[in-house]
């Protein structure tokens, strides 16, 4: 028996929420370790659709759910999300939800900065979720962020706010944003403090105690390896490390606690926001993937860009994240496409590459080398057993495994919790 770390292996929205829900049933604790409310994880249980941005998906099953120190947390969004899912019948109490006392707070001024910079960037914008995630992480590494623990000490909080504003004031003026007073920030934090403080604890202690008891931990990654601030398509990335190695640092446990690394891989490729996308399709097939796959951002509602499966990217994610096995999601979306294409390498000028180069100019210039695979006409929607898959779908899955260098442990064929073909339980190693 081992712990499991779930991460996205492409550009996000691979269906992590659905897989995490399946795994949460077998876990004792679910932990978020990076990102913030830029994430949007969907879980469908019968007629209920839950959308989580900050809450670990374990709350659906009432499992101990920890928002680790590596997450940047907007407390107002968190409280809204708690209210929203309570309205759907979930019980969120301090017994099941823990927010790390050393996690940094996302303030309205972070979202202001995110939006203002994007507006000014014009064609060079990143296409962020406008939630202030990047600016909040900047303040974290700049050592001027406000953390949850600070809310309990009103006196020193004032000085911390002054320090933070000394950085933000000139930025805001330069961007024509109205001034924010220290008193305003202090008042809004003091108003929210009593509402969030019941959840705030030294999360690393809570987590290490359950690890010691031999309980099973599920680490819930947000975003994906190609959006990682180091390994992704920089600067078109998010502002955190999203690879599996971050699980330990973002939760406060030892490096080996992450256990089995499960990569979530969509059977084609999507991306929301700007940035290079070698296998992007601008034709009818791209539109068809978007429609059948219902590819609209969970957080912002923006249409996701769609393209063929890129085995080069996923192989790179498998390598930099140490992915042990993958769940291949949304196979049903490919039903009825006569010929499928898989990108197996790139051409860059007269060179052939088996990886995505780090430079933006090269990333934009690579031309995919495709291998064609016959599609299938039968529906795979809702298939729950390997035997239900048409032979060509099996060939497609097997070819992907070969190209990415990792075994498929599950295939999903619909949004519902049970639309899953299970070959192996990652908790069994």
For residue 49, the tally of other CB atoms under 10 A from its CB is: 11
Of the candidates 177, 117, 110, the residue with the CA atom closest to the CA atom of residue 145: 110
Q: What x/- string results for residues 209 through 228 when contact with ligand IMO is judged by CB under 6 A? A: -------------xxx--x-
Q: Which of 15, 35, 40, 414 is in the footprint of Mg ion by CB under 5 A?
A: 40
Structure token digits, residue 249: 């640092």
Q: Interface residues for ligand IMO in 285-324 (CB under 6 A)?
A: 298
| Only segment of 24-32, 121-129, 141-149, 347-355 that touches ligand IMO (CB under 6 A) | 121-129
Q: What x/- string results for residues 22 through 51 when contact with ligand GDP is judged by CB under 6 A? A: ------------------xxx-x-------
In the set 21, 41, 139, 419, the catalytic residue is 41
What is the distance between the terminal CA atoms of the chain, rounded to a whole angstrom? Answer: 6
The least distance separating ligand GDP from the CB of residue 290, rounded to whole angstroms, comes to: 12
CA atoms in the 13 A half-sphere facing the CB of 162: 6
Gap between the Cα atoms of 294 and 327, Å rounded: 19
Under the binding rule (CB under 6 A), the answer on residue 75 touching ligand IMO is no
Tokens 């900050």 sit on residue: 54
Do β-strands 260-266 and 325-329 pair in parallel, antiparallel, or remain unpaired?
Answer: parallel
Structure token digits, residue 321: 């994240």
Gap between the Cα atoms of 165 and 161, Å rounded: 6
Say whether 13 is catalytic.
yes
Q: What is the CA radius of gyration of the chain?
A: 22
* Binder of residue 412, out of ligand IMO, Mg ion, ligand GDP, none (CB less than 5 to 8 A by kind): ligand GDP
Q: Interface residues for ligand GDP in 302-331 (CB under 6 A)?
A: 329-330
Structure token digits, residue 268: 């084609």
Say whether 41 is catalytic.
yes
Q: Which of 70, 273, 345, 426 is in the footprint of ligand IMO by CB under 6 A?
A: 273
The least distance separating ligand GDP from the CB of residue 303, rounded to whole angstroms, comes to: 13
* Binder of residue 90, out of ligand GDP, Mg ion, ligand IMO, none (CB less than 5 to 8 A by kind): none
Beta pairing partners, 391: none
* Binder of residue 329, out of Mg ion, ligand IMO, ligand GDP, none (CB less than 5 to 8 A by kind): ligand GDP
Structure token digits, residue 222: 């947000």
Residue 255 to residues 113, 154, 220, 387: CA-CA distances in angstroms? 34, 35, 16, 39
* Binder of residue 341, out of ligand GDP, ligand IMO, Mg ion, none (CB less than 5 to 8 A by kind): none
Cβ atoms of 19 and 261 closer than 8 Å: no
At residue 124, the 3 state secondary structure works out as helix
Question: Where does residue 130 fall: left (phi above 0), alpha (psi -120 to 50 degrees), or beta otherwise?
Answer: left
**Residues in binding contact with ligand IMO, number by CB under 6 A:** 24
Q: What x/- string results for residues 19 through 58 when contact with ligand IMO is judged by CB under 6 A? A: -------------------xxxx-----------------
The residues that touch ligand GDP, with contacts defined as CB under 6 A, are: 8, 12-18, 40-42, 44, 294, 298, 329-330, 332-333, 412-415, 419
The residues that touch ligand IMO, with contacts defined as CB under 6 A, are: 8, 11-13, 38-41, 126-129, 131, 133-134, 222-224, 227, 238-239, 272-273, 298
Question: Catalytic residue numbers?
Answer: 13, 41
């Amino acid at each position: 028996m081992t712990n499991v770390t779930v991460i996205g292996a492409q550009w996000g929205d691979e269906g992590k929420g659905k897989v995490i829900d399946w795994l949460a049933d077998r876990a004792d604790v679910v932990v978020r370790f990076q990102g913030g409310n830029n994430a949007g994880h969907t879980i469908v249980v019968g007629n209920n659709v839950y959308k989580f941005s900050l809450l670990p998906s374990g709350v659906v099953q009432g499992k101990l759910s920890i928002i680790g120190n590596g997450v940047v947390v907007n407390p107002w969004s968190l409280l809204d999300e708690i209210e929203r899912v309570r309205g759907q019948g979930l019980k969120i109490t301090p017994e099941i939800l823990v927010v790390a006392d050393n996690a940094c707070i996302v303030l309205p001024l972070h979202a202001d900065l995110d939006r203002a910079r994007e507006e000014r960037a014009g064609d060079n914008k990143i296409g962020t979720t406008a939630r202030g995630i990047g600016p909040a992480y900047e303040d974290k590494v700049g050592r001027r962020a406000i953390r949850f623990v600070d809310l309990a000490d009103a006196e020193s909080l004032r000085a911390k706010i002054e320090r933070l504003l000394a950085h933000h004031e000139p930025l805001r003026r330069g961007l024509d944003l109205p001034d924010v007073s220290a008193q305003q920030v202090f008042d809004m934090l003091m108003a929210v403090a009593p509402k969030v403080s019941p959840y705030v604890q030294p999360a690393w202690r809570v987590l290490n105690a359950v690890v010691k008891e031999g309980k099973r931990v599920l680490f819930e990654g947000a975003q994906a390896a190609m959006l990682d601030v180091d390994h992704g398509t920089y600067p078109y990335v998010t502002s955190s490390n999203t690879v599996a190695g971050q699980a330990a640092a973002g939760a406060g446990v030892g490096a080996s606690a992450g256990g089995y690394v499960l990569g979530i891989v969509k059977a084609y490729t999507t991306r929301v926001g700007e940035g290079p996308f070698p296998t992007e399709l601008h034709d009818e097939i791209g539109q068809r993937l978007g429609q059948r796959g219902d590819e609209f951002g969970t957080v912002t509602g923006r249409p996701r860009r769609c393209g063929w499966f890129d085995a080069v990217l996923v192989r790179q994610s498998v390598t930099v994240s140490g992915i042990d096995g993958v769940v291949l999601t949304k196979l049903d979306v490919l039903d009825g496409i006569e010929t499928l294409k898989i990108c197996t390498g790139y051409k860059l000028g007269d060179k052939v590459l088996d990886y995505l180069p780090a430079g933006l100019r090269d990333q934009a210039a690579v031309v995919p080398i495709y291998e064609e695979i016959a599609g299938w006409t039968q529906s795979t929607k809702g298939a729950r057993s390997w035997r239900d898959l048409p032979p060509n779908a099996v060939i497609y899955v097997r070819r992907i495994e070969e190209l990415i260098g990792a075994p498929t442990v599950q295939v999903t064929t619909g949004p519902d919790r049970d639309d899953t073909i299970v070959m192996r339980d990652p908790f069994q190693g």
